[in-house]
Every structure is written in C-alpha cells, then in structure tokens.
Amino acid sequence: MNAPRAPLMPLDEALARLLANISPMAGTESVATFDADGRVLGTDIVSALQVPAFDNSAMDGYAVRSADAQTPGMVLKVTQRIAAGHMGQALQAGEAARIFTGAPVPPGADAVVMQEEAEVLPPQPDGLTEVRLSSAARAGQWVRQSGEDVQRGATVLAAGTRLGPAELGLAASLGLAHVAVAKRPRVALFSTGDELVMPGDVLPDALPPGAIYNSNRFFLKALLHRMGCEVSDLGIVPDQREATVAALKTAADHHDLILTSGGVSVGEEDHVKPAVQALGQLDLWQISMKPGKPLAYGQVRRSSRPGLAHFVGLPGNPVSSYITFLLMVRPLLLKLQGASCLAVPATPLAAHFDWPKGDKRREFLRVQRNAQGGLDLFPNQSSGVLTSVVWGDGVVDNPAGKTIAHGDVVQFLPFAEWLS
C-alpha cells in the first residue's frame, strides 16, 4: 500500500524554512558610486558634513534682513550680486543682495524675496541700484538652512539598504565616490530536460515532436542579473542521473547558489532530487500555491573547499518557474546580500473580474491595471501560458478557497516592485 501523501506546505511556512537556512555572505567590496545601482549597502553611511553645507537661496531674488522688509513697498539698496559658488559680503541695514538659486546667503541676511516680488528702480545718478519689495519678508523664507537635509554625524543610509538612483544621489551629495556593498551572489544556472531545445539551434518548422524551446533559461538569467548576481550559465543537462550529479559537483565548488528548473518532481525522469541527496541534503516541498507547487531547496557539499552551496530547484512550467522565483528565490538572494527588506508590499485594488471558484491552493492570478484603477484578469491562467506574465503587470495574491466578485478589494503584487 502506498504511503499517504504529506499535506501541501503553506507558502509562508516554506519561505520561512528556506530563509532560516540563509545567512548573509561575509565581507564587502568597494565599488564606484556610479556603478552601485541595485547593490546592497554593506556598511552604514554616516555623513561627515552638513547638507546643505551653508544657508543658501532657494530662489532667484534678493537676500534681505527681514527686519528691513516688514512693510510692502520698502526700498532697499542693492549692494552686491551673489551667484552660486561665490560668497557674498556681510549685509548691512537697508541693503539687499541680488542672489541666485543655490548661492550662499550672505552674513546678516535671513530671508530671500523672490524676484517676482521685487521691482528694480531706475539707477540713481551715482549708479546706485535700488529695489522695491512688493511684499513683506519673514525670517527664513526661501532660505535652505544648513543641515536641513542631512546633519553631520547622522546615519543617512543603513547597512542592508538596496541602493537605487535616489540613494546613489544622496551618497554622492556626501562626497562618496565609492561605497561598501555586499558581494554579488555567484549563481550557477542550468535546466534539465531532454525535451529542451535552445532558440537558434533548431528552426521552428524543424522542431522535433515533443521538443520545446528553453524559455526558462532566458528569463531566469535576466532575473538573476536584476538581483545583482554573477551568473554562470551551465546550459541544459540531460535527463540522466550521472550528468545531473556532475553538473551539481561543478556548480557547488564555485557558486553560492545552484538554480535549476525542471526535474524536481517525483517522476522517473526527474533526477535532480536523488542527485542532490547524493551530494548533500534536500527538502522537497509541495507548496500550497498555484502556479508553482513543486519546489526543492537543499544544500550541496563542495569538494574542493569547505562549505555548502545552496540549491533551489524550480518547477519546469514557465509561469510556475517565474512566479516561484519572485516569491522564493528573490528573498533568498536579498538575504544572502544582507538586505533589510525582503518582501514586496501588496496594494489593495478593486477586481474588475469574477473568479467564482477559488482553488484549494493559494493562487497568484496574473492581472493588469486598467484605466479605471482596477484590475483585469488574463483569461488563461495556465502555468504554461507565459504570455500571461508578459501581458500582466502583477498578480493578485488570492487566499486558498476564496472566490472573487467584480468590485471586491484584492491584494495586488506589482511585477515592477519585484523586478526593481
């Protein structure tokens, strides 16, 4: 009699078990700030200066002493002109300084009047220029105070922050030409399956019966690069145990993670499971999610040096492989790099479709935002229909057994957040 099947594991439990095995990689490397987009910060960035470093004008206009400009119509003498990058002289009572955006506010001045609220009067016979202010000035107006952005000694970016354009600009504003970041995870990628053919090797009209083009290899490599990984593409491994063992041995010695697609089910031609078990240890999870039920995590011993390489085997169906990468592999790679934020927050949006029969598994339905601010559903939710991922801009995270009626609020996970 066959043993009863173990119940499907909830996704959150499977992810927690996976991440419990992951420790951030040791060490950091210094990279040019110009080249650090997408990398994970390895150490805190503490500011050595104030930003702005000095009080400066937020407008083109006139720097004044607010005490001299309490009444609209006041006329002040223009005694100097201050452009960005130049220092002015101390401002005396009754004086104004022509000033431009970003220029240092001169000593004695505590406000800037924008040029639209100032009328330049005809020059006096002695060449003196005067300006009439159409509005009163209050202390601090249109002045960017020193340190209002960043205080000296403040931790402005914490270790574990994933650096994006704004973070790189902030680092540059502190004078940092280089930043310390986590090392790139080294990932070995290969596919299994005698049915797989590489685009270009066989023309479509000559494709043998039962053969399919290997799409997973392309999107997985692109996803790994987006996660900041160094990728070794080991190609397609035949459906043979010896070939699978050899590929795993080669990959484990030089990589932090081995990522495969296909061959992690329990069929007679699925050789990944016994191969990993022969070289290390394996958890084979049947996850209560749709698409993407079969997923394997394990560790493979290195033969040339101490330690273990992580192993993740993704399902072979392309949508299953794509979605399980985003949900499981992405947080694994972020944790390897010491990132502080691993999850993508869901956004509540209205479903503009009906889903009358909820599955017993947690579902990830491919959807697209529409002009009305709601979500449209791709008509074919099969795990083999990769066009659903191209058409969609995210998924609805639908709990097991839940039906959806038009207008219901659902939890939307955008692809853009996962891929950034």
The pLDDT tens digits of the residues spanning 226-276 come to 999 999 998 888 878 888 899 999 999 999 999 998 766 555 456 788 889
Collect all residues with Cβ–Cβ distance below 8 Å to 235 and sequence separation of at least 6: 190, 191, 217
Collect all residues with Cβ–Cβ distance below 8 Å to 109 and sequence separation of at least 6: 63, 64, 65, 91, 97
Cα distance between residue 86 and residue 58, in whole Å: 15
Please, which contacts does 270-275 make with residues 24 or more away whose CB atoms are closer than 8 Å? 271/192, 271/239, 271/240, 271/241, 271/244, 272/192, 272/244, 272/296, 272/313, 273/313, 274/241, 275/241, 275/244, 275/245, 275/248
Query: Which three-class secondary structure string do you get for 329-376?
Result: HHHHHHHHCCCCCCCCCCEEEEECCCECCCCCCEEEEEEEECCCCCEE
Cα distance between residue 334 and residue 344, in whole Å: 12
Show pLDDT as tens, one digit a residue, over the chain (420 residues): 455 677 899 999 999 999 999 999 999 999 999 999 999 999 999 999 999 999 999 999 999 999 999 999 999 999 999 999 999 999 999 999 999 999 999 999 999 999 999 999 998 888 789 999 999 999 999 999 999 999 999 999 999 999 999 999 999 999 999 999 999 999 999 887 778 888 888 888 888 888 888 889 999 999 999 999 999 998 888 878 888 899 999 999 999 999 998 766 555 456 788 889 999 999 888 999 999 988 999 999 998 888 899 999 999 899 999 999 999 999 999 999 999 999 999 999 999 999 999 999 999 999 999 999 999 999 999 999 999 999 999 999 999 999 999 999 999 999 999 998
Q: How high is the pLDDT of residue 306?
A: 86
Q: Which residues of 194-224 are buried (b: 16+ CB within 10 A; e: fewer)?
A: ebbbeeeeeeeeeeeeeeebbbbbebbbebb
Residue owning tokens 């031609």: 269
Hey, where are the domains in the chain?
A: 11-25+184-336, 28-49+152-182, 56-144, 347-419
If one counts every other C-beta atom within 10 angstroms of the C-beta of residue 167, the result is 20
Overall fold of domain 28-49+152-182? Molybdopterin biosynthesis moea protein, domain 2 (3.90.105)
Query: Residue 306 to residues 134, 231, 324, 415: CA-CA distances in angstroms?
Result: 77, 21, 29, 37
The pLDDT tens digits of the residues spanning 42-56 come to 999 999 999 999 999
Collect all residues with Cβ–Cβ distance below 8 Å to 16 and sequence separation of at least 6: none
Cα distance between residue 4 and residue 255, in whole Å: 37
Q: How high is the pLDDT of residue 2?
A: 55
Q: What are phi and psi of 97, to 5 degrees?
A: -120, 125
Q: How high is the pLDDT of residue 268?
A: 45
Given the candidates 2.40.340.10, 3.40.605.10, 3.40.1410.10, 1.10.10.10, the CATH classification of the domain at 347-419 is 2.40.340.10
Overall fold of domain 56-144? Molybdopterin biosynthesis moeA protein; domain 3 (2.170.190)
Say yes or no: domain 11-25+184-336 is CATH 3.40.50.10190: no
Torsion 172-173-175-179 (CA) sign? negative
Q: How high is the pLDDT of residue 266?
A: 54
Q: How high is the pLDDT of residue 52?
A: 94
Three-state DSSP class for 311? strand
Is there a shared CATH topology between the 28-49+152-182 domain and the 56-144 domain? no
